[in-house]
Amino acid sequence: MLIEEGTKFQISPRIQNFFNSAEALTVIRHNGITVQFTLENGKGRGSMPLQHLNYLLKREELTQITNQGLIPQI
């Protein structure tokens, strides 16, 4: 999956407590190694290694959101 600035992800309820109880995050920047993001409703911001973001996607802890809704992970 291509991670671009502005990409939004829904956060699984199982891990929301690690993200200040936010339900979604938006990628604001990445450099190929680290991804920086903001949490919805001004609940904060943070960063994580791109490898960890891919791990969360693989485990379906994060799901990409589009204008039309959720995109199923393949």
Q: pLDDT for 17-71, tens place per residue?
A: 999 999 999 999 999 899 999 999 999 999 999 999 999 999 999 999 987 655 5
Nearest Cα residue to 3 out of 56, 68, 42? 56
Which letter does DSSP use for residue 70 in this model? E
Q: CA-to-CA distance for 28 and 36, rounded, in angstroms?
A: 6
pLDDT score of 1: 67
pLDDT score of 69: 58
pTM for this model (two decimals) = 0.85
Query: Residue 46 is encoded by which pair of tokens?
Result: 């943070």
Q: Are strands 24-30 and 62-66 parallel, antiparallel or unpaired?
A: unpaired
Query: Residue 53 is encoded by which pair of tokens?
Result: 């973001």
